[in-house]
Amino acid sequence: QVHPSVRRDIFEVSRYLSELSVCDRFFMEFQPSSIAYAAVLNVTESICFSRLSPAHRSNFINALATEANMDHRAADVVAAQKRLKEKYMSSIGYHMQGKGKHALGMQPAQHDDVMPCCGGRAQSSSSIDSTMSSVNRASPSPRRTAIASVSSVCTSGRISIRQH
């Protein structure tokens, strides 16, 4: 089972990434579920191995794909993942982390490999909380609601992440 703090971090940061898409016309052609799925994938791929093992990560991604009925190789998901990484790297959330590294381990967009670890130590969620509190929250729109509903799949308990 994944630690509740890791699940919370996945949800909070994927929600933040999804909200970045609301202000970008690029995402108008995408379904909210594709954006949310891409956000969850980005965060899941970026979490340090010390917090989410490769086996748990793989199980989670497979369970999420099944639950959301989505494919991580779909062109819209891949494009959304790439753009969300770029948006995040230029956002206040990224720059608040300092030294070019997010608490979950996301690296600058010029690196295609988004699986680096954070030095083998778990980071506190306080930096993620500060990122979330810095975001100006507008009233929920139908698009935000759809994005949040898909993002919440990862923390709802419907997906059990166990190492086989």
Longest dimension (CA), the chain: 42
In the 8-state DSSP scheme, what is residue 141? P
Domain boundaries, the chain: 4-155
C-beta atoms surrounding 57 within 10 Å? 18
CA atoms of 124 and 111, how far apart (whole Å): 24
pLDDT 10s digit of each residue in the chain, 164 long?
778 998 899 999 999 999 999 989 999 999 999 999 999 999 998 888 888 999 989 998 899 999 999 999 999 999 999 999 999 888 876 666 654 444 445 543 333 333 332 333 333 333 333 443 444 344 445 455 555 555 455 445 454 433 33
In terms of pTM, does the model score above 0.85? no
